[in-house]
Copies of this chain bind each other. A is one copy, B any other.
Amino acid sequence: MLSERRLEVLRAIVQDYVGTEEPVGSKALTERHRLGVSPATVRNDMAVLEEEGYIAQPHTSAGRIPTDKGYRLFVDRLAGVKPLSTPERRAIHNFLDGAVDLDDVVGRTVRLLAQLTRQVAVVQYPSLTRSSIRHVELLALTPARLMLVLITDTGRVEQRVIDCPAPFGETSLADLRARLNGRVGGRRFADVPQLVQDLPESFEEPEERATVSAVIATLLETLVEEHEERLMIGGTANLTRFGHDFPLTIRPVLEALEEQVVLLKLLGEVKESGMTVRIGHENAYEGLNSTSVVSVGYGSGGEAVAKLGVVGPTRMDYPGTMGAVRAVARYVGQILAES
Contact = CB atoms under 8 A, between A and B. Distances in A.
Interface stretch (A209-217, A251-259, A308-316): A251-259
Interface string A227-254: 0001000111101100000110011001
Nearest to A101: B159
A230 B103 contact: yes
Contacts of A149: 137, 149, 151, 157
Contacts of A234: 258
A141 interface: yes
A320 interface: no
A158 to B, nearest CB: 8
Contacts of A151: 139, 147, 149, 159
Contacts of A257: 236
Interface in A105-163: 111, 134-135, 137, 139, 141, 147, 149, 151, 155, 157-161
Contacts of A339: 161
A37 interface: no
A100 interface: yes
Contacts of A103: 230
A121 to B, nearest CB: 11
Interface residues of A, number: 34
A155 B161 CA distance: 10
Interface string A74-102: 00000000000000000000000000110
Contact of A240 (B137, B247, B258): B247
Contacts of A250: 240, 246
B160 A157 contact: no
A138 to B, nearest CB: 10
Interface string A299-339: 00000000000000000000000000000000000000001
Interface of A: 100-101, 103, 111, 134-135, 137, 139, 141, 147, 149, 151, 155, 157-161, 230, 234-237, 239-240, 246-247, 250-251, 254-255, 257-258, 339
28 contacts: A100-B160, A101-B160, A101-B161, A103-B230, A134-B141, A135-B139, A135-B147, A137-B137, A137-B139, A137-B149, A139-B151, A147-B151, A149-B149, A149-B151, A155-B159, A157-B157, A157-B159, A234-B258, A236-B257, A236-B258, A237-B251, A237-B254, A239-B254, A240-B247, A240-B254, A246-B246, A246-B247, A246-B250
